[in-house]
Amino acid sequence: MEATYDVCALGCVCWDLVGTVEHYPELDEKAPIGRFVQHGGGRAGTAAAAVAALGGEVAVFGRIGDDTFGQYILDEFASTAVNTDGVETVSGAQSQFAFCVAHEATGKRTIFYKHGSMARLSADDVDLAALTDCRCLLIDSHHPHAALAAAQQARSQGVPVVLDAERIEPHLDALLAAVDYPVLPESLVAALGDDDEASGIEQIMHHRPAALVVTRGADGAELYSADEHLYQPAFAVPQVVDTTGAGDVFHGAFAYALALGHDLQECLKLASATAALSTTALGGRGHLPSMAETRALSEGMCGLCSG
């Protein structure tokens, strides 16, 4: 039976407040904010929004409170054609939110976040049939028990599973064993190997994923599998304004490329170009590119690639 969605994304959905500063103040100092925006955030949430912008059919699953930020989150998803039937609203709870400060000269950012007051989703809290009604499942580690159950269900149905994880957490090893495509930052891979990346890669590959993707920011991304080692340079853009959410966008675009049936090199290229374009505006969803724009960069402007 044909899947309803290209991608289903399970994990963190929140509200971001993003501002720029010329320089970071010392403790007990003040600094004026330049530009300011606010919009939805969260790893799964921004990944889902990126898929929708690329033209994919996407549904997001998570948990929010019945507060102002929660309503903002739902309203923005509705405006971008992201299905939110799987987002549970908890009465009396506070939604997760974050303050993101971007350095104007470099686009690098610092994030301060507040976890929502509701409990994490358990395996019994999610509709596994709805979650796996897709061509690719994307999970982050925010709801580990629900994510693990969803990953296991998806794999049993032949649906590829992409994992977005940021740091070493109690359930990380179980999640790594349950997914096909862990897409991880180089800092986490090195941490898994006690500050030795090669050891971290070996540890992850012990779980026999279809492929491991290591993201390196401005240095591009690398893919490791039993059969191949691929490198994708980062794409240059006219100006990096803010890197907030670029990793989330990469995950969403990579999952969508898998859903479209692209080979792994093309998945890396599409994800890298989409993430690069997302850094040209303030905030994780300040600019989510269309497929046409992404293709123009990845195919028509490859001379601008760095590395």
pLDDT value of residue 117: 86
Domain locations along the chain: 5-14+43-93+121-304
The rounded Cα 247 to chain-centroid distance in angstroms is 5
Identify the CATH number of the domain defined by range 5-14+43-93+121-304. 3.40.1190.20
Identity at 148, one-letter amino acid code: L
For residue 307, what pLDDT is reported? 32
Model pLDDT, residue 109: 86
Could you report the average pLDDT of every consecutive run of 10 residues in the chain (307 residues)?
Answer: 94 96 93 95 98 99 97 97 97 95 87 91 96 98 97 98 96 98 98 96 97 96 96 94 94 99 97 97 95 92 39
- pLDDT for residue 1: 67
- Provide the Cα torsion 305, 251, 265, 137; round to 10°: -170
Q: What's the rounded Cα separation, in Å, for the pair 217 and 185?
A: 8
pLDDT at residue 292, rounded to an integer:
96
d(CA 48, CA 7): 8
DSSP 178-218: H-SEEEEEHHHHHHHTTS-HHHHHHHHHTT--S-EEEE-GG
Question: Looking at residue 306, what is its pLDDT?
Answer: 34
Q: Which amino acid is at 91?
A: S
Interatomic CA distance for residues 175 and 148, integer angstroms: 6
Residues near 224 by beta carbon (within 8 Å), at least 6 away in sequence: 201, 205, 211, 212, 213, 214
